Chain A
């Protein structure tokens, strides 16, 4: 394996290849920053350019893009409360409050450190499990998909104990939106009202752009002032503090990366859920969970380390079976085919060299994009000083154009606009928005997994505890539920006993 890595390194170490990788990084950062656009769009746009390149160069550039979007997306999540890409949504929870307190630079510093560390950790995990990739992927079938989705939903339900009911209502709306469209199990159409657009369901990225980007800009233009308005001054020199805090919290980085790699490897669930679970696990393990959401740096470190680790995870099913672990990987598979390779179980045998090049490119890209991110922090943080009247129209226009650019569907823009207004109402009446997003991602996986399991087992519920994987998942769900309720119950019992004495 070491010699394979060294070979790949020497493949990349030519001026042209490195330049293409850097070009990918710049492109990835830019597409990451703009809400709506992300790695998928960036890869799709650059795909025709790879025609004339060697496969190695094409992979170096693709790796550059995929490794850099996470960093770009974190920047807009922190500065504008608008996740640049879907997996950055969890970063807004504490990143934006930090920006509001004038600590944007510190938050970006933390994200820029957590990203490459998470990327490195993910790559190491990937290299370790690559020989057993096939067996790992085969552990997940419809019952396990269902349980995993339930686990995700349980995590959201319990993520905010002070706001439990509102969180559940928000998640319920998310589930309802998730069920719009063509149902691949029964073949029926639901809530489409004959529209070809709704046939494909409510898309995630426009929904995110609306709920976060548009909402935040409506809010900003109504309250007036700047993002960092209440901070008094913006500390531009917090970067080092952010870097140090991340290194100090290495346990959070490792946990986040592990969660990112595992969840990232499961097709259809992906990064948005991975970063969110990394966030809420860190929150729950903290002695002071209530303070999350007010600008805790740990709330940036956890999701951002998971974010870069998830790319390595997503490579697993892609390499082992040719099944893309994420939307980006789907486009990447297209690039593979264009370069004369055949996705599927033989890839690891026939295209080992190219795969290692991609792995190295992903790692280098995470490091490069972090360095660029840190270098630009001072100027980027200035955005929080721009007046709302100037910032809001700009951000709304750019995000809506970005939304349209994904598939050139006008419906996407309408969804973003409507959900932007819904999001503003949610913000005003204190309903959390992230549960809606997570439920929108997981609703389909949960339903499909459940129906398929029931069809396979002919209605026998034992299918949900019939494999070791599913038993572990059930225990994990019970444990998560127990952890959040039992301490409360014990406490009230103790108090009752103390009173009766």
Chain B
């Protein structure tokens, strides 16, 4: 009798299992991990995209953005890495933000190259900015200052700091970095106030400051310049430096089944091309750069190789 009950129970479990796995994905709400605090550009981008993405998912499920700040994005990355690869937990990440600790050999609980990369959302480069009234107008001016240029940056493992180091070392510019600013807004302010000569800031972030005439750009790295007076990585003779960009990408846990991956990938690409979402991007000075799963995975690999090469500057 006991055996019979056990067998029946076992059968029921099996039936239960097959039932839910027969339901097409997704059959419940999907959680999207934002590895930073609520508020701020990254968070807003993720939340706005989530709104549009659920439009393109079957079965009327919701996408629930969840902030999981901590350890400079590493906490969120670990959480997604450890989650079940069932498609109900995905994350939006800043690359190379979560890649750098891995290159630097910091103890982390994830491997960037094992995550299931779903799509690229946006790509941003850097502007090397100076105060509007600064005599510096180009990399040449910076080289001929007669003293090392002083940059402002956040912490020494931040993306902007690493970009500052790699560009300055590659172009043989003597430099110093004042670290410790709490975010790009603060070091842009430091440039305007004159604490520092220059800074590497994301190109989309500096738009309002350019518009108000507080700062100007001396060179652009990671994006192509249309202005003949402002040089980019190609003009500077080191095209490889175009790899220095900040990319927002979506990823799920390692080993996500192909069909689930395809559903999410398609919903994201559709959302990125949604007319209303594009209008939102336009009004907030944001950008989109949709790339599919295969392309995103390839560019993560490429980034890993690039930063590995400059490992000596990353300590």
- Give me the interface of A with B, judged by CB distance under 8 Å: 40, 43-44, 47-48, 51, 137-138, 141-142, 182-187, 194, 196-197, 199-200, 267-268, 321-324, 330-335, 337-338, 340-347, 349, 407-409, 448, 451-452, 455-456
Contacts and interface: CB of A to CB of B under 8 A. Distances in A.
Given A333-B39, A340-B283, A448-B180, A407 B68 contact: yes
4 closest cross-chain pairs (CB), A and B: A344-B208, A187-B156, A334-B39, A337-B44
A456 to B, nearest CB: 6
A340 B280 contact: yes
A112 B20 CA distance: 55
Interface residues of B, number: 53
B65 interface: yes
A338 B47 contact: yes
12 contacts: A138-B193, A185-B155, A196-B74, A330-B39, A334-B44, A335-B39, A338-B44, A343-B208, A347-B208, A349-B212, A407-B67, A407-B68
Contacts of B74: 196, 199
Contact of B65 (A48, A186, A200, A330): A48
Contacts of A183: 155
A187 B195 contact: no
B65 A346 contact: no
A197 B182 CA distance: 19
A138 B180 contact: no
Contacts of A347: 208
Contact of B185 (A141, A184, A186, A321): A321
A44 B51 contact: no
B211 interface: yes
Contact of A337 (B156, B193, B284): B284
A137 B150 CA distance: 22
A323 B156 contact: no
Contact of B209 (A200, A341, A345): A345
B212 A345 contact: yes
A187 B189 contact: no
B70 A407 contact: yes
Contacts of A142: 195
A51 B63 CA distance: 14
A199 B70 contact: yes
A88 B36 CA distance: 27
Contacts of B154: 184
Given A184-B179, A268-B182, A196 B207 contact: no
Given A48-B65, A322-B208, A334 B43 contact: yes
B130 to A, nearest CB: 16
A342 B284 contact: yes
Contacts of A407: 67-70
Most buried by B among A197, A334, A347: A334
B201 to A, nearest CB: 11
Interface in B165-216: 176, 178-183, 185-186, 188-190, 192-193, 195-196, 207-209, 211-212, 214
Given A141-B193, A197-B70, A452-B178, 12 more contacts: A44-B39, A184-B179, A185-B180, A187-B179, A199-B71, A200-B69, A330-B40, A338-B47, A341-B284, A345-B208, A407-B69, A448-B180
Contacts of B107: 194
Nearest to B180: A185
Nearest to A197: B70
A149 to B, nearest CB: 14
Contacts of A196: 70-71, 74-75, 78
